[in-house]
């Protein structure tokens, strides 16, 4: 199992509102994606950034998602700086 974290820097209160609206319903939209396990949107206490946390059954499942049309549609028009990190779940 792996976790992918994307850190998205927030440029304004409006940007934060846009992110929260854009990610609402993600668990429902992703439910039928092979290998998808869980999603969370985490907001820094100071409001400076968000962490998009997605859990996948395997690296192969994550790679298949990033190569899919569903991924391209979900990420079209994204704004803000994002930095991704991938972690292997060990416990």
Each residue's pLDDT expressed in tens, for the chain with a length of 91 residues: 999 999 999 989 999 999 999 899 898 999 999 999 999 999 999 999 999 999 999 999 999 998 998 888 877 766 556 778 999 999 9
pTM across the whole model: 0.85
Pairing of strands 36-43, 49-56: antiparallel
Task: Show the CA angle centred on residue 78, arms to residues 77 and 83, nearest 5°.
Answer: 150
The structure tokens listed for 9 are 């820097």
């Amino acid at each position: 199992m792996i976790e992918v974290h994307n850190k998205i820097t927030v440029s304004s209160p409006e940007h934060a509102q846009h992110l929260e609206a854009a990610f609402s319903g993600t668990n429902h939209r992703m439910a039928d994606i092979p290998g998808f396990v869980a999603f969370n949107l985490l907001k820094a206490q100071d409001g400076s950034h968000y962490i998009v946390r997605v859990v996948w059954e395997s690296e192969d499942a994550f790679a298949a998602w990033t190569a899919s049309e569903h991924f391209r549609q979900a990420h079209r028009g994204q704004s803000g700086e994002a930095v991704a990190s991938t972690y292997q779940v060990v416990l």
